[in-house]
């Protein structure tokens, strides 16, 4: 009946769950060390990997149609565009001596 | 509104137009009609259960995209103020309890697992599995909220709630106002996240009743699937909140 949505094996969910646990432990450990400017990029990379695992396996996006995949990715894409354009403004204000920083 | 003529209903109408329209949607007219006879859960405006499920999942994802943008505005505020007041951000993050935040992260990950298992149990038609996993998800969600309550209570005790009673930690008086901005964002972001958890638990209760009545099986599990998408999304928000709020100042040693 639901050929477009095969049933995920329990082992896949278990591996996803354990991977998320390991990544959480890893990110806490890494955060306890000081890598200077790399602290946040490392933490965010782990967070993005964890979010991708949840979306791809738990939410089953890998079995969804291209239309749903595009919709899901579009949300995060627009978010990055908002962050990028907004920060290009805020970061460059002091360079130009623009008041309002 | 007049009753729709049979010519517009594929499967009943024998006109070539209705037939070709149905065929172009990937469902031959005769199977569409048969599907409605087979499954009482199939709404009249869908051709097949597959199409109905996809429409529901797509609708949920569109809603989740609006949620991404909703939380995205708060993350945007977080980023802007963090670049302005990096020291206040680290010192404020230092006041949060990394261990409670970490435990809550683990609790949410387990709840996402039980949620995924609830969806799977619905797909395989295993009623006991649906009930146990849904109850497990609700218990874990409630555990998260209880831990969150103790965290909030500690912030009130330590006078870290922004407002007239805010007191900057010793030696931080000069950046006290900047730290208030951090804690304002902390309470708004985690508070709205917690509100989503409460809504999720209510949704699970509704779905639990449906599961109890044996409504779900291989042919119909849309509410569990869509409710699961919502629950996983709330988990994802926390996956980003945890490092950005709690872990930011952790390298200075464990917080309060």
What ipTM goes with this model?
Answer: 0.92
- What letter does residue B10 receive in the DSSP assignment? B
pLDDT at A38: 86
B241, A43 Cβ separation under 8 angstroms: no
- Please measure the distance between the N-terminal and C-terminal CA atoms of chain B and give it in whole angstroms: 66
pLDDT at B225: 95
pLDDT at B45: 85
CB within 8 Å: A87 and B79:
yes
pLDDT at A36: 79
Q: Which of B247, B144, B256 is nearest to A25 (CA)?
A: B247
A28 close contact with B: CB closer than 8 A:
yes
A6-61 confidence digits (pLDDT tens): 889 999 999 999 999 999 999 999 998 888 788 889 999 999 999 999 999 999 99
B115, B168 Cβ separation under 8 angstroms: no
Residue B161 to chain A, least CA–CA distance (Å): 25
Q: Which residue's structure tokens are 């038609």?
A: B125
| Binding-face residues of B in 181-240 toward A, CB within 8 A | 218-219, 225, 228-229, 232-233, 235-236, 239-240
Residues lower than pLDDT 50 in chain B: 1-27, 29, 255-256
pLDDT at B5: 43
pLDDT at B156: 95
pLDDT at B12: 41
Select the residue of B50, B105, B106 nearest A2 (Cβ to Cβ). Answer: B50
Structure token pair of residue B130:
């649906």
A55, A72 Cβ separation under 8 angstroms: yes
- Please measure the distance between the N-terminal and C-terminal CA atoms of chain A and give it in whole angstroms: 58
As a whole number of angstroms, the distance between CA B16 and CA B19 comes to 5
Q: How confident is residue A100, by pLDDT bands cut at 50, 70 and 90?
A: low
SS3 at position B217: strand
B120 close contact with A: CB closer than 8 A:
yes
Select the residue of A10, A67, A71 nearest B65 (Cβ to Cβ). Answer: A71
A17 close contact with B: CB closer than 8 A:
yes
Angle at B245 between CA B242 and CA B250, to 5 degrees: 90
As a whole number of angstroms, the distance between CA A9 and CA B153 comes to 41
SS3 at position B13: strand
Contacts of B41 (CB under 8 A, 6+ apart): B49, B219, B220, B222
Bridge partner list, B217: B220
CB contact burial A60-90 (16+ within 10 A = b; e otherwise): bbebbeeebeebbeebbeebeeeeeeeeeeb
Chain A CB contacts of B109 under 8 Å are 17, 20-21, 24
A71, B54 Cβ separation under 8 angstroms: no
B198, B145 Cβ separation under 8 angstroms: yes
C-beta contacts of A61-67 below 8 A and 24+ residues apart: A63/A4, A63/A5, A63/A6, A63/A8, A64/A4, A64/A5, A64/B54, A64/B57, A65/A4, A65/B54, A67/B54, A67/B58
SS3 at position B146: helix
Select the residue of A35, A44, A75 nearest B243 (Cβ to Cβ). Answer: A44
Helix (H) / strand (E) element for B15: namely none
């Amino acid at each position: 009946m639901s050929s477009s949505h095969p049933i995920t094996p329990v082992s896949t969910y278990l591996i996803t769950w354990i991977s998320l646990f390991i990544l959480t432990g890893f990110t806490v450990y890494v955060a306890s060390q000081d890598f200077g400017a790399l602290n946040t990029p490392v933490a965010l990379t782990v967070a993005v990997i964890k979010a991708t695992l949840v979306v791809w396996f738990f939410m089953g996006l890998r079995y969804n149609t291209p239309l749903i995949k595009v919709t899901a990715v579009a949300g995060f894409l627009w978010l990055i565009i908002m962050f990028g354009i907004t920060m290009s403004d805020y970061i460059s204000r002091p360079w130009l001596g623009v008041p309002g920083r | 509104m007049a009753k729709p003529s049979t010519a517009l209903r594929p499967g009943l109408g024998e006109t070539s137009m209705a037939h070709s329209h149905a065929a172009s949607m990937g469902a031959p007219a005769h199977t569409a009609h048969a599907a409605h006879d087979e499954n009482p859960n199939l709404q009249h405006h869908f051709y097949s259960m597959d199409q109905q499920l996809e429409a529901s999942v797509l609708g949920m994802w569109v809603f989740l995209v609006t949620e991404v943008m909703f939380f995205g505005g708060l993350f945007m505020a977080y980023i802007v103020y963090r670049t302005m007041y990096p020291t206040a951000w680290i010192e404020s993050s230092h006041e949060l309890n990394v261990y409670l935040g970490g435990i809550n992260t683990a609790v949410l990950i387990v709840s996402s697992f039980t949620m995924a298992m609830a969806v799977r149990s619905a797909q395989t038609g295993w009623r006991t599995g649906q009930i146990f996993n849904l109850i497990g998800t609700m218990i874990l969600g409630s555990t998260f909220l209880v831990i969150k309550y103790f965290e909030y209570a500690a912030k009130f005790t330590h006078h870290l709630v922004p407002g007239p009673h805010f007191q900057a930690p010793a030696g931080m008086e000069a950046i006290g106002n900047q730290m208030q901005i951090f804690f304002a964002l902390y309470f708004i972001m985690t508070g709205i996240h917690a509100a989503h958890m409460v809504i999720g638990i209510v949704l699970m209760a509704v779905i639990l009743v449906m599961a109890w009545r044996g409504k779900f099986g291989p042919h119909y599990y849309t509410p569990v699937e869509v409710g699961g998408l919502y629950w996983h999304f709330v988990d994802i928000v926390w996956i980003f909140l945890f490092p950005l709020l709690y872990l930011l100042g952790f390298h200075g040693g464990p917080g309060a």
